Structure 1
Amino acid sequence: MILALLAFAQLIIAIDYTIVFVAVPDIGRELGFAAHNLQWVVSGYAVVFGGFLLLGGRMSDLLGRRRMFVLGLSLYGVSSLAGGLATEPGLLVGARAVQGFGGAVLAPATLSLIGTLFAEGRERNRAFSVWGAAGGSGMALGSLLGGVLTQAFGWPAIFFVNVPLAAAGVVAAVVLIPRDGGTRSGRRFDVPGAVAATAGITAVVFALVQGPATGWNAASLLAGGVGVVLLVAFVMIESRSADPLLPLGLLRIRSLRNGVTVIALFAATLGSLLYFETLYFQDVHGYNALQTGLAYLVPTVAIFVGANLGGRVATRFGLHVTLATSLAVAAVGVAWLGLAISTSASYAAIVPALLILGLGQGSAFTTMYAAASTGVAPEHQGIGSGAASTGQQVGNAIGLALLVAIANQSDAFTGLRTAILITAAGVALTALTALTGRRTPALVPTP
């Protein structure tokens, strides 16, 4: 029952990230967004989510995972209600930013609960299969729900649907998840490190999101430069802190270091692919919101099946072999998709590519987080999860920025195909990177 609840929370996070995609045009028209600001319906969530993940992970370690799980879900529910009731752009972007903070608290709490409540090996692999099935399929399911709800009830429905789901999750968490102990005695928040990390990551993600949309102007470049300086300062602060936000000794754990790298590359490639698939369906073939959502049924099912298989295969053949193989299968699917699309191709022509891609993507999504959690001590599972999730957010921002810039160098369809084929090469590189990870002893240097 606890695992079902954790998977449910991950489903909410994944759905909420993509559910707005197909509703963005309707939101822009009805709330009067300026064209250059409309992207902040998505980016307002992504920037805050990515910036606060390390802090959210440390909050779970120090303040209690159940407490942070409940707080994150509560923030989701309240901000979703505010988003659905928004009557002007600023209110909606503000609500999305609060949702992003809720995600930054909830995601590490969910991952660290799996890392502490389920024993490393078969039991944890199985738990990550269920969690990964919810998260991996939720990314595609969000697009489906976004299309159905927008078409049937209007764009506010994509926010209102979260309210009862979050409320049910809070009640279930109070009933099912074991109580936290007291806050960790003798430990305190690394305030300078938290400020430097949060501001630095937020500035970098802001630059990567804003740059491709409005051009690499002075504001984008300044934000990126300030972010890099703050992250350098963060490393210096952590090396001298008695209670660091991110114990630098964690980075000596090869499984975590390799896992974060693979997660970042996965997000930069496969995580960005959804954007280009949506462009293909809507701009090339003229699908409306409902048709676009229905087009994601096939990849949703394939990702769900792949995620469930991933944990079982990993238990038998090992995490890194399974992860590398899954990514190789996904690379084949992406390449096939890039070669199969055309201005006149039917949906049926790309179904085989979507099936292969989904199976590999779902299995990889499960196993890469399981690999990253291997060897991390229970008291550091929160910050380890925060680091992994930060890799996902930053990787997605970097990958999307680069791929959009590449796609814009050619006419619309040629650029779209080029971006997809480059994504396939990137996924193949990610598979090779996964092979460099090896299991390490479950020892974590004391900060």
Structure 2
Amino acid sequence: MIHKNLILIIILFGQLLTIMDIFIINVSIPSIQRDIHASNGEIQFMIASYLIGFASFLITGGRLGDLYGRKKIFVIGLLLFMLSSLACGISANALQLVISRFIQGISAAAMAPQVLAMIQILFSTHEERTKAMGWYGITIGIGTILGQFLGGYFSSLTVIDESWRLIFLMNIPICLPAIFFSLKLLKESKSPVKKSFDILGVFILSTGLFCFTYALTAVEHAGIGWQNILVIIISVGILIYFIKNQRTRILKNRSYLIDFKLFRYQNFNLGIIAVSFFFIMLDSYFYILSLYFQDGLKMNPLAAGEIIVFQGAGFILASLFSPGMILRHGKNVLIAGLSLISLVLIIQVLVFNTQTPFYLFYLLLFLHGVGVGSIIPSLANIALSGMPESLVGNASGVYNTFQQVAAIVGIVAVGSVFYYFLGEKPTSGDYHIAFTVATFINIFCLVLVMIFIIKVPDHILPKKRMLRM
């Protein structure tokens, strides 16, 4: 058991890096823009390039792990992440930093599916896996908080010029021991069926996902234009062609990228739908909350950041205690968590204004984090539960892809509604109306998540007394 837990710590370092570097750049934007003389558009693309690379190659990363070995692809991902972090840290201009961040996102896409896949393989019983997924959730919470904290800390150092470079260079001393211990302790696992790799499928899928995520990100920053709409239509066409191409290759017994047997598992379908609506809610919530705090309620960035930290604290606490509760009460814990988030959102609409005492902000964000932390680890557990070892890497990649694309869709879709109700010259009252409308869209998403959780068969998240039968 000690050996298993040590292996879990090692692979969770990959997850920590993946999450941390999504957030670590945000606080450092002003310093980076000043030092490398980047335009606003270049800065926006710098932030987006990591997510675009990440979302575009997750399915490919999962399939590579299935075919060539999850340990091997995980280590390659760590090595590539370290080298791309070094490239980010020594970038001389905006273009170099954008390209390096894109490669960093691809390397994260190589690691992330292996983390979920190896947890499913390493921890075979429901009780062990539930506890391991709790630590997976804790890692997400720590990565979120640590990314924002370290981004601000390193950017504010005065011991060296252009200290923001340390936010990337710090990944090197994390990656080196992770690579060493991964090579030393991880056991190799891969699909027993030997197949060649579908390079054409990678190109088609990555092109489609790249165009789709790029267009969505462009809409977020530049608004809806005919160019972005055209790119989205083209990307949808490419993805439809990809699905037809994969079905044809499977029928002809040729190599493929996605095994459609995944979608024969009811819990997998319910899991990816649930995680999609949940992340539409979650990422759009953080996006809109930041705008509402700073522009609507006139908070300074430091005060807004302090409040968000309480959400992360609640997330970590819930991830620590929710596994035991899920083992005792099953999916009722998830339903309670969704209900808690919905209630907190309603209260936020009613009480958040310029007169609200800060302790109330802290409390409500903390409770929001408790609700989120009780749900996220179990969504992955639902989707991957009972998945054969030959499919688990592919399933992890598809699951992560739905999650990341849904996050971008949420920011664009709910954000667009928020800006619509804001108007051209918004007052504080307009901000509250826009926040209210966006929040109730998020609550609607939570209701949909709850419906799909209720549909999950009881044996997927069995209660402890059922485990003893």
2:203 aligned residue (185, 195, 209): 195
The answer for the alignment partner of 2:452 in structure 1 is: 433
Contact persistence 1:57–1:383 (CA under 8 A): yes
Mapped pair 1:258 → 2:270: yes
Contact persistence 2:283–2:408 (CA under 8 A): no
Q: From the superposition, tell whether residues 180 and 380 of structure 1 become closer, same or farther in structure 2 (CA, over 3 Å).
A: closer
The answer for the alignment partner of 1:345 in structure 2 is: 356
Q: What does the per-residue CA deviation read over 1:196-248, in whole Å, with 9 as the maximum and x for residues that have no partner?
A: 22211221111111113112223312221111111111111121222321111
Mapped pair 1:359 → 2:367: no
Q: CA deviation at 1:344?
A: 4.1
Q: What does the per-residue CA deviation read over 1:237-264, in whole Å, with 9 as the maximum and x for residues that have no partner?
A: 1212223211112111011111111111
Mapped pair 1:273 → 2:255: no
Contact persistence 2:307–2:365 (CA under 8 A): no
Paired amino acid for 1:178: K
Distance (whole Å) between structure 2 residues aligned to residue 338 and residue 150 of structure 1: 34
Contact persistence 2:219–2:412 (CA under 8 A): yes
Contact persistence 2:71–2:188 (CA under 8 A): yes
Tell me the SS of whatever aligns to 1:408.
helix
Tell me the SS of whatever aligns to 1:343.
coil
Q: CA deviation at 1:140?
A: 3.4
Paired amino acid for 1:424: I
The answer for the alignment partner of 1:172 in structure 2 is: 181
CA RMSD of aligned residues (A): 2.1
Q: From the superposition, tell whether residues 155 and 272 of structure 1 become closer, same or farther in structure 2 (CA, over 3 Å).
A: farther
The answer for the alignment partner of 2:3 in structure 1 is: none
Point out the structure with max Rg over C-alpha. 2
Q: CA deviation at 1:57?
A: 0.5
Structure 1: where are the runs of 5+ without partners? 442-447
Tell me the SS of whatever aligns to 1:216.
coil
Q: Using the TM superposition, name which of 122-131 and 411-420 deviates more.
A: 411-420
Paired amino acid for 1:335: I
Question: What TM-score, normalized by structure 1, do the two folds share?
Answer: 0.92
Mapped pair 1:305 → 2:317: yes
Report how many residues are paired: 438
2:32 aligned residue (23, 27, 31): 27
1:205 aligned residue (213, 226, 230): 213
Tell me the SS of whatever aligns to 1:375.
coil
Contact persistence 2:312–2:366 (CA under 8 A): no
Q: Using the TM superposition, name which of 380-389 and 262-271 deviates more.
A: 262-271
Q: Using the TM superposition, name which of 269-278 and 348-357 deviates more.
A: 269-278
- After TM superposition, the structure 1 = structure 2 runs for residues 374-389 of structure 1, keeping only pairs within 5 Å, are 374-389=385-400
Q: CA deviation at 1:184?
A: 5.2
Distance (whole Å) between structure 2 residues aligned to residue 350 and residue 371 of structure 1: 32
The answer for the alignment partner of 1:236 in structure 2 is: 244
Q: Using the TM superposition, name which of 309-318 and 9-18 deviates more.
A: 309-318
Q: CA deviation at 1:407?
A: 1.6
Distance (whole Å) between structure 2 residues aligned to residue 143 and residue 363 of structure 1: 22
Mapped pair 1:223 → 2:228: no
Q: Using the TM superposition, name which of 51-60 and 262-271 deviates more.
A: 262-271
Contact persistence 1:21–1:143 (CA under 8 A): yes
Distance (whole Å) between structure 2 residues aligned to residue 147 and residue 285 of structure 1: 20
Contact persistence 1:120–1:374 (CA under 8 A): no
Tell me the SS of whatever aligns to 2:375.
helix
Q: Using the TM superposition, name which of 28-37 and 122-131 deviates more.
A: 28-37
Mapped pair 1:10 → 2:15: yes
- After TM superposition, the structure 1 = structure 2 runs for residues 39-438 of structure 1, keeping only pairs within 5 Å, are 39-152=44-157, 154-180=163-189, 186-241=194-249, 242=253, 243-283=255-295, 284-288=297-301, 291-318=303-330, 320-409=331-420, 410=422, 411=426, 413-414=431-432, 415-438=434-457
Contact persistence 2:133–2:378 (CA under 8 A): yes
Structure 2: where are the runs of 5+ without partners? 1-5, 461-469
Q: What does the per-residue CA deviation read over 1:356-398, in whole Å, with 9 as the maximum and x for residues that have no partner?
A: 1101101111111111111210111101000110011110111
Q: What does the per-residue CA deviation read over 1:252-293, in whole Å, with 9 as the maximum and x for residues that have no partner?
A: 1011111111111111111332223333454444434x5554
Q: CA deviation at 1:16?
A: 1.1
Distance (whole Å) between structure 2 residues aligned to residue 167 and residue 344 of structure 1: 49
Distance (whole Å) between structure 1 residues aligned to residue 197 and residue 350 of structure 2: 51
